[in-house]
Amino acid sequence: MEHLVNSAVQNIQISGIRKISNLVATYKDAITLTIGQPDFPTPAHIVEAGKRALDQNKTLYTQNPGLLELRKAASHFVGNKYGLSYDSEQEVIVTAGASQALDISLRTIIGPGSEVVIPGPIYPGYEPIVRLCGGTPVYADTRKSGFKLTAEVLKPVLSERTRAVILCYPSNPTGRVMTAEELKAVADLLRGKPIFIISDEIYSELVYDAPHRSIAALPGMKEQTIVINGLSKSHSMTGWRIGFTFAPADISKHMVKVHQYNVTCASSISQYAAVEALTAGMDDAEPMKREYKARRDFVYDRLQRIGLTGEKPEGAFYLFPSIGRFGLSSMDFTMKLLEEERVAVVPGDAFSVYGEGYIRISYAYSMEVLEKAMDKLESFVGRLG
């Protein structure tokens, strides 16, 4: 019966990140630097809020777009933190993680023949959704612009069929952040055109040296921007599966229809915990961010000494150093490192063809783990010459 499966689904590949993670699981002694998941526990006060919701039997469906109390908290959070203004009743949807937020956003605005510009290298979760919508992903090569989708990189790949542009900053896999000037130039290029901007800001609370900036806060850009965010990275709530979309009412009213028939609503228990996260836990990311910054500095400095050069990330918890000088593909380098030193990283080609020649290192691990991994990596690179 497999031949009857939707051809668009048949042609989708399992994420390269998950492939390598599944492989690493067979190496019981491996040090893994693969998964982008905080190693901090969910803050205790949020866990207690979830327990209270269970004890009080708050286990029923919520409104499709989510608890109004949570939508109000989310609207206040992004307003207070990033200067964004959204009506909690008509412009905010609570989703089952940022991944589902991305799914309903693209399924609402993309159809057959639509083109979606995706910066490469990039997290592999965007292209499959575009293809499932019947759209065409168009990659913009950011390797020569410091892994940033600048206006100069973006302009040549726009066409009359372009329906959306993906922005993801801080970026996965590079950790790069757009400056105010770079965002303004992109906004000036796209403003007023029949092109949506999908601004994936899931790492917005993990920007180290300056406040996070959203393109939706720039003049005239809210009207054509869908902002995606969530609590997985900011509050170490990956398994709680709470994300958000922030979009104009005339777009949100259609997105909520897709959401309704997709999941009905996000988990009620998780939503009550999320209210706590966005009110009492508004600054829960701060201690995590300080630790990530220290880890970034340590790993970046070690990589420089080892001879693995790359851009220094301003956010998230990834480094994306070049391995081009060794004459190995990113997969060969990764497998050799795993076999010889039992250190697992993600090959750059998991993030599109534009990631070939790089590896992604997640530093969402303890300093003890990172020190041991860097020692092993240094030995490995020394043998490669």
Q: Residue 50 carries which side chain, given as an amino acid letter? A: G
On whether both 84 and 225 belong to a single domain, the answer is yes
Whether 49 maps to a domain, the answer reads no
**Total domains, the chain:** 2
Per-residue confidence band for 240, with pLDDT thresholds at 50, 70 and 90? very high
Would you say 65 and 94 are in contact if contact means Cβ atoms under 8 Å apart?
Answer: yes
Task: List the domain range (segments joined by +) for residue 112.
Answer: 58-279
* Residue 1 burial (10 A CB sphere; 0-12, 13-18, 19+): exposed
Q: How far apart are CA 172 and CA 178, in angstroms?
A: 13
On whether both 246 and 112 belong to a single domain, the answer is yes
Residues in CB range of 18: below 8 A, 6 or more apart: none
Whether 340 maps to a domain, the answer reads yes
Q: β-strands 136-141, 115-120: how paired?
A: parallel
What is the structure's pLDDT at 110? Answer: 97
Q: What percent of the chain has pLDDT over 70?
A: 100
pLDDT of 113 > 90? The answer is: yes
On whether both 182 and 297 belong to a single domain, the answer is no
Would you say 357 and 323 are in contact if contact means Cβ atoms under 8 Å apart?
Answer: yes
Residue 377, classed as helix, strand or coil, is helix
- Give the CATH number of the domain where residue 25 resides: 3.90.1150.10
Whether 63 maps to a domain, the answer reads yes
Q: How far apart are CA 79 and CA 29, in angstroms?
A: 45
On whether both 205 and 312 belong to a single domain, the answer is no
What is the structure's pLDDT at 25? Answer: 79
On whether both 209 and 347 belong to a single domain, the answer is no
DSSP codes of every residue in 187-216: HHHHTTSS-EEEEE-TTTT-BSSS----GG
Of 279, 312, 330, the domain-final residue:
279
pLDDT of 35 > 80? The answer is: yes
Computed over its alpha carbons, how large is the radius of gyration of the chain? 21
Mean pLDDT of 300-325: 97
Mean pLDDT of 234-239: 98
Whether 47 maps to a domain, the answer reads no
On whether both 308 and 182 belong to a single domain, the answer is no
Q: How far apart are CA 75 and CA 86, in angstroms?
A: 6
On whether both 273 and 340 belong to a single domain, the answer is no
| Average pLDDT of the chain to the nearest whole number | 96
Q: β-strands 196-200, 31-32: how paired?
A: unpaired
Of 250, 279, 308, the domain-final residue:
279
> How far, CA to CA in Å, does 168 sit from each of 95, 107, 195?
18, 18, 16
Whether 50 maps to a domain, the answer reads no
Q: How far apart are CA 94 and CA 70, in angstroms?
A: 8
pLDDT of 14 > 80? The answer is: no
Q: How far apart are CA 175 and CA 203, in angstroms?
A: 9
pLDDT of 144 > 80? The answer is: yes
Q: What angle do CA 196, 139, 314 make, to 5 degrees?
A: 80
On whether both 188 and 294 belong to a single domain, the answer is no
Whether 171 maps to a domain, the answer reads yes
- Give the CATH number of the domain where residue 99 resides: 3.40.640.10
Work out whether the CA dihedral 6, 8, 10, 14 comes out positive or negative.
negative
On whether both 30 and 104 belong to a single domain, the answer is no
On whether both 358 and 234 belong to a single domain, the answer is no
Model pLDDT for residues 254-284, shown as the tens digit of each residue: 999 999 999 999 999 999 999 999 999 999 9
Whether 53 maps to a domain, the answer reads no
Of 279, 310, 337, the domain-final residue:
279
Q: Which tokens go with 63?
A: 């409104």
Per-residue confidence band for 137, with pLDDT thresholds at 50, 70 and 90? very high
Residues in CB range of 17: below 8 A, 6 or more apart: 34, 35, 36, 124, 346, 350
Residue 170, classed as helix, strand or coil, is coil
Whether 217 maps to a domain, the answer reads yes
What is the structure's pLDDT at 23? Answer: 79
On whether both 274 and 289 belong to a single domain, the answer is no
What is the structure's pLDDT at 385? Answer: 79
* 52 sits in which H/E element: helix 44-55
* 139 sits in which H/E element: strand 136-141
What is the structure's pLDDT at 21? Answer: 77
Mean pLDDT of 89-94: 99
What is the structure's pLDDT at 19? Answer: 77
Mean pLDDT of 183-189: 98
On whether both 33 and 128 belong to a single domain, the answer is no
Per-residue confidence band for 54, with pLDDT thresholds at 50, 70 and 90? very high
Residues in CB range of 15: below 8 A, 6 or more apart: 124, 125, 350
Q: Which tokens go with 119?
A: 């910066």
